[in-house]
Structure formats: C-alpha cells, structure tokens
Structure 1
C-alpha cells in the first residue's frame, strides 16, 4: 500500500528537529563579546590617544568603550564608533560589522542627526547673533520631534536583529554647558536652551531604548557641574579647541572615565 505523501512528511519532522539542534548559549562566566557603535562621543573625540588606523573616526584608547572592554576582559572587541556618525551611518556602515554572537553592545548616537555641531557653532562661538542661534536650535528641535523618533526606532530594530543575544546599552548625552556662571562661551540664556535641547534628546533616546528592551545609561548626573564654564580643573567637556575645532565640546579623558564609564558599567550589569 502506497504511503500518503503528507504522512511521510509529518513522520520526517522529528528527524529534522533532531538533526538541527539550537546553538548553545555562551556560558554565564564567558568573557563578553563586545561591540561599540556610535558617534564621536563613543569614539572618544577630544580624549586623545587616537588609534592611527581609525583615521578621521578619531577613536581613542581613553574612550568609554575601550575602557569598558579592558575592565571586562572583552573578547572580539569591535570598536566601530566614528566621528560625525548619524543614525544612518550606524545602520549602513557600523552595524553590518556586528556578529550575531555579540553579548554586549553599546550605542551613542543621535546628536549629529540634529546638527549639534552646527548648533554649537551658531550659539556658542563668539560673534554669533541671537537670531542665528535661535533659528539653528529651532531647526534642531524640529528634527528631534519630527524625524529622529523614526530613525532611532528603525536603528534599534536593526540592532536587535544583528545582535539577538546582546545586552544592549544606549547612552544619552551630558549637559555640555554650566549655567549660572560668567563665561565667554555663549550667553547664559543660550547655554540654558542648549542644555534643554539635550534633555529633550536624552528623554527621546530613553523612551525609544526602553521600548525596544534596551538599557539606557543616563550620564547627566555624573557630568553635573563639569560642563564648559564650570571653571578650571572642573570641566569634563572641552570648550573651543584651536586649531582642532572638531575636538570642541566633547568629553575629556575624565569625562569618559568618570562620566560615561560608570554609567555604562552600571547599565551592563545583570539583566
């Protein structure tokens, strides 16, 4: 008697299942396989000790990803963050390098999507007008509310697909500027508005990260009192750096090790 094709196919299912066991998870005590993605704040711009091989990405040995990798004995450390990177740059150029076996992934991105570098130039450098600063911050706010939520959501979806087993930590940005002080960097009103935009950005990043099941590392408390205009010896953010303007308004080595690293370390703790 001829066996029905459907019955034969069903009978083969257990054999197929046995032949393709699921990949084993990494042991709990295995060294982390770490990928660090993002922009200049994750690359370590202004922190010095740049890797010559990184070129214009300006990745620093003093950046929080390199410090975290050293502290945790990470294996297969992927340092992909790059100066000037946007969410699109991370999706197109950095994320494809991430292995599916990654167990920890950190990400700092979003500021360049809003044109933060241009906003700093238009608001914080000498001889810029109130009208120019206001117009630039208005445009940044528009991008934040109308464009960035969708960009972050799409990126975070791709991150989870690329690193399905990873503990993902998304960081925010610090207040770059100390307010309520006498300072030649912008006016106090401009500094307040710039910091308010940073708060709005951080809260958006937090919401999108938590909606995707990621941890959020908030660095604002650690940096409190250490922004530009805090006074000599207390600033963890660079002011205007000449002639290397691209290092302006970025975390110093202290900002990376005392500001970013503790927040990221806390967020990468047990699930």
Structure 2
C-alpha cells in the first residue's frame, strides 16, 4: 500500500540525510615505486637503511618522506651509482604491475658526474682537465643518453601501465658569482650549464612518454654549494664520506625535492 505523501517525503528525506552523512570510502593507499640513483636514494641525507648496503637508501630521501606522508606502500629500489640501464635491468623487475605511483631520478651517472666532480670541483685540478671531462660528458649526453632514457621510460610504462610517473631533474650544484674555494667561477658555470642541458633532455624525453617532469632547479636556487649567504642544501666535499659529496642534504631532500615532486603527485 502506498505511503501517505507526508510519510513518503519524510522517509525520502531521512534516506537522503543518511546517505550524505555516511563516510565516503577511503581511497586505497598508493602503491609507490621509487627508482633511480643516489639523488633518489637520499645519499648525504643520513639515516641510511643498513639493509640497502652500498645503495645507501635514506629514510630522509624524498621517496621515503612522501610515502610516510601519504601512507603509501613503498618499494624503494633506488641505488647509488645507478645509471639508466641499471634501473631498467636491476630495479624495474621489483615494480609490481598494479603500482599507482612511480618516481624516477636518473641520468647523471650516465654522463660521468662523479668523474666530472673530481676533475672540476676540487682545488688541485686544472681547467684543461675539467674541460676534457665535461666534453666527454657532453658527448654522452648528445649521443647515448637520449636512447637510454627512451628505452627506460618505455620499460617503466610497460612495468606499471596505470601509474602516475614523475621524473625529476637535478639541481645546479654550485652557486656562481660568490667566493668559493671548491672551483673557479668558469668551472662552476660550465658544470651548471651541463646540468641545465641534462635537465632539458630529461624533461623533453619524459614528457614525450607522457610523464610529468619535476624541475628542482628553481627551489634549489641560491642553496647550492658556495651559496654565499643562503643555507646550503648541497654538500661540498665530504672528506669522511667522499660518496656524499655534491649531493642534497636532508634539507635539500625535504625542502627541495619533496615539495617539487609532491606538487605533481
């Protein structure tokens, strides 16, 4: 038997209010894979996971910080000294097909950034030695790295077909126009110019694959080594742990990389 109109209206209103008051289903926790080199691993940020060995993955790196803030299930495969082919061969097999978020920082080791730092950013080297090393790095950037990045980015998409992928660049490591015992002004300028070229290549190739590019250079501006006033977010030469030299500090990860990446996730 049909309900009287006032009763029917009251019942409908009660059901509507109940539906509005019911808590929305919580979004599932992100399934997050962090890939890349020492900048992704958090080298120089401290608090290393002993189980990561020479990969030196840090609980203060941007992947661990983002995962903690969002309750994400993190697969952190980033490893110090990794190049693009290393990520594709050694790290991607750890990425599950249902991964929803991927971040990636890689490319510097493919250019020999460690050799460039030794040959350009320590007091006893020469301009000629620095120039030769940077010329070699530029050759790798022009002739080899584009293909390596394309192969890696295609493999990332195949491994995690539905994931949101954010690829980061690198900060300029050195401030210019300031007094600095680490390197001459000309060496700092040329080293930074190579970083800019690397970042632009990463941006072009990642965006061509439909990935977001996180440009960390603006937020790091003024915070590089030889900052001349601002807090330095990049280590200079760390004599006790040379492998931490010219890497972001914990502040560089938390205040530089993290907000830039988080804005795109």
Whether TM exceeds 0.5 here: the answer is yes
Partner of 1:44: 42
Deviates more, 1:228-237 or 1:118-127: 228-237
1:1-271 to structure 2, matched below 5 A, reads 29-75=27-73, 77-231=74-228, 234-268=231-265
Report the Cα distance in structure 1 between the residues aligned to 2:154 and 2:177, rounded to whole angstroms: 40
Unmatched tracts of structure 1, length 5 or more: 1-26
Between the aligned partners of 2:126 and 2:240, the Cα distance in structure 1 is 23
Secondary structure of the structure 1 residue equivalent to 2:263: helix
Deviation, 1:233, is: 6.1
How much does 1:30 deviate?
A: 1.4
Aligned mates of 1:91, 1:65 — CA distance in 2:
18
2: CA distance between counterparts of 1:191 and 1:247?
Answer: 19
Q: Which residue of 2 aligns with 1:19?
A: none
| TM-score between both structures, scaled by the size of structure 2 | 0.89
Distance in 1, matches of 2:186 and 2:152, equals 34
Deviation, structure 1 residue 267: 1.2
Listed one character per residue, the Cα deviations across residues 132-167 of structure 1 (whole Å, up to 9, x for unaligned) are: 000000000010011000000000000000000100
Structure 2 gap segments, 5+ residues each:
1-24
The RMSD of aligned alpha carbons is 1.1
Structure 1 distance, partners of 2:100, 2:240, is: 40
- TM superposition outliers: structure 1 runs of 4+ over 2 Å: none
Q: What is the number of equivalent residue pairs in this alignment?
A: 241
TM-score (norm 1): 0.87
Distance in 1 between the 2:150 and 2:48 partners?
A: 31
Partners of 2:49 and 2:159 lie apart in 1 by: 26
